[in-house]
Amino acid sequence: MPKNFMHLCLMHDTELLKGTLKTIVLRLLAEEGRMYGYQITQRVRELSAGELELTEGALYPTLHKLEKAGLVTTEKERVGGRVRKYYRLSPQGQASATTYLAQFQQFVLVMNRVLQLKTDQ
């Protein structure tokens, strides 16, 4: 397996990212509190050292689904002459963030076992 295999998968296979996007957003909002969309994309880029490119086309539908499900609340604020929409976890979203993260950790453990992935690069 090439050294940059994971980078190639993450950057080019949007299905991998789509399956984890809800968990990523819930976790970030749990840690950071209130965030706006562009801020989320930049934080993901920063945390992944540029390995994950989160597009607005992927992020905003996820945020809208989370809002519709009652997991996030929104508030608008005028910043520099523009209206910015901030997202924050609801109490239900806080509980869901914990649940999704635990499920994702278990999924990663199982996938490592099944695929026998080596973690040292």
* Amino acid 87: pLDDT: 98
Domain range annotation of the chain: 5-115
pLDDT means over runs of 10, the chain (121 residues): 41 62 94 95 93 87 96 94 95 92 88 78 53
How confident is the model at residue 94, as a pLDDT?
93
Q: What is the pLDDT of residue 68?
A: 97
- Residue 49, token pair as written in the block: 């050292």
> In the β-sheet with 72-79, what is the strand arrangement from edge to edge?
35-36, 82-89, 72-79
Residue 109's pLDDT is what? Answer: 87
Query: Tokens 């950790």 — which residue?
Result: 105
Looking at 32-71, which runs of residues are DSSP E strands?
35-36
Q: How many CB atoms lie within 10 A of CB 18?
A: 12
Domain 5-115 has CATH 2.60.120.1440: no
